[in-house]
């Protein structure tokens, strides 16, 4: 599999596959990265989608869409996007079954589904921007030589902890009562007990566990499950409001070349809507890259 593509699509649900189809039919190279199919695969019967006389399972609809995309030349990588950065082009760090890889792309469509649930910890929302962050790359600099905690138990949490380790005085990983899903190196303190509260005055000062134990902290980085669409957008510097990506009429975010489609935009969470938004984003990507090539040609 090559490392450099015209379009990187995060997510292989209806929005991601639809965007891929339009990009592929325009002659662009497309890589689709997804850990799984998300909510679609769990749908028992879809009976309100255009063109299907009989209900179809979400898993079968997903299989057909994926087969359609690969028939047109899409490459699909099964893995979790840990990081997405922009410097001349997009750099995606992805963890698959065989370890981590980096992919480059001229454009990105984030179609990673709806935002996951937040941790049920009292005070977490109140301290957002006051010691609670969702992006180690963005905010780690502000916690140099300070004590920080990463909330999570999987690869995404460990990835965020690795970003913080060279900066912070101490990095602890709090799994919120779960057993770690990855092997955590000895450099990190691990707290498996459930957190019941985040406390402080005008800034985070400590976290309190179910047993009553308290530990002082200067910063908390939330990295539950896998990186959401909003998490990835923040890493590139794209604007996010209420955990939804800010996009224009062509579904491009505030970062040129970064588009979004599907449930991550909110609204009506239906397959038909996701497919339509994927088509719109795919066509917008084609237009964006054509304009980019014209500008690059004129500059030579």
Answer yes or no: pTM beyond 0.85: no
Of 42 and 54, the structure prediction assigns the larger pLDDT to: 54
Angle at 134 between CA 86 and CA 12, to 5 degrees: 60
Answer whether residue 75 shows pLDDT above 80.
yes
Does an H or E element contain 66, and which? helix 58-71
Mean pLDDT computed over every residue of the chain: 90
The dihedral built from the CA positions of residue 274, 276, 279 and 284, taken in this order, carries a sign that is negative
4-116+227-299 matches 125-222 in fold: yes
Least confident of 165-179, 246-260, 264-278: 264-278
CATH fold of 4-116+227-299: FAD/NAD(P)-binding domain (3.50.50)
Strands 189-191 and 195-200: unpaired
> What distances in angstroms separate CA 197 from CA 119, 151, 204, 207, 208, one per listed residue?
11, 13, 11, 6, 5
What is d(CA 61, CA 14) in angstroms, rounded to the nearest whole number? 9
What is d(CA 230, CA 134) in angstroms, rounded to the nearest whole number? 9
Token readout for 35 is: 């850990």
What is d(CA 210, CA 214) in angstroms, rounded to the nearest whole number? 9
What is d(CA 13, CA 91) in angstroms, rounded to the nearest whole number? 22
Question: What integer is the mean pLDDT of 65-82?
Answer: 95
Token readout for 22 is: 């339009």
Domain positions in the chain are 4-116+227-299, 125-222
Helix (H, G, I), strand (E, B) or coil at 111: coil
Give residue for tokens 């014209």: 294
Domain spanning 125-222 has what CATH number?
3.50.50.60
Question: What integer is the mean pLDDT of 272-291?
Answer: 96
| Residue 72 near residue 25 (C-beta atoms within 8 A) | yes
pLDDT tens digit sequence for 261-278: 988 887 777 889 999 999
pLDDT tens digit sequence for 204-241: 999 999 999 999 999 999 888 777 788 888 888 898 88
Q: What is the DSSP letter of 128?
A: B
What is d(CA 58, CA 43) in angstroms, rounded to the nearest whole number? 5
């Amino acid at each position: 599999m090559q490392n450099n593509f015209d379009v990187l699509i995060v997510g292989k649900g209806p929005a991601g596959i639809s965007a891929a189809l339009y990009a592929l039919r325009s002659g662009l190279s497309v890589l689709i990265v997804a850990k799984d199919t998300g909510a679609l695969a769990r749908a028992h019967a879809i009976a309100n989608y255009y063109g299907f006389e009989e209900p179809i399972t979400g898993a079968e609809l997903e299989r057909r869409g994926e087969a359609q995309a690969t028939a047109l030349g899409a490459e699909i990588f099964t893995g979790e996007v840990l990081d997405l950065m922009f410097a001349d082009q997009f750099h995606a760090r992805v963890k698959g079954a065989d370890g981590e890889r980096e992919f480059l792309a001229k454009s990105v469509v984030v179609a990673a589904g709806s935002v996951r649930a937040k941790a049920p910890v009292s005070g977490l929302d109140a301290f957002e921007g006051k010691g609670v962050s969702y992006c180690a790359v963005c905010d780690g600099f502000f916690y140099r030589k300070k004590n920080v905690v990463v909330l999570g138990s999987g690869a995404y949490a460990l990835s965020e902890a690795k970003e913080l380790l060279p900066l912070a005085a101490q990095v602890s990983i709090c799994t919120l009562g779960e057993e770690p899903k990855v092997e955590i190196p000895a450099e990190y303190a691990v707290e498996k007990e459930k957190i019941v509260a985040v406390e402080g005055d005008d800034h985070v000062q400590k976290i309190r566990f179910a047993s009553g134990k308290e530990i002082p902290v200067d910063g908390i980085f939330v990295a539950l499950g896998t990186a959401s669409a909003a998490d990835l957008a923040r890493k590139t510097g794209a604007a996010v409001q209420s955990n939804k990506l800010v996009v224009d009429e062509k579904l491009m975010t505030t970062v040129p070349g970064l588009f979004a489609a599907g449930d991550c935009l909110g609204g009506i969470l239906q397959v038909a809507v996701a497919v339509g938004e994927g088509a719109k984003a795919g066509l917008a990507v084609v237009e964006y890259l054509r304009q980019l090539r014209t500008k690059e040609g004129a500059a030579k």
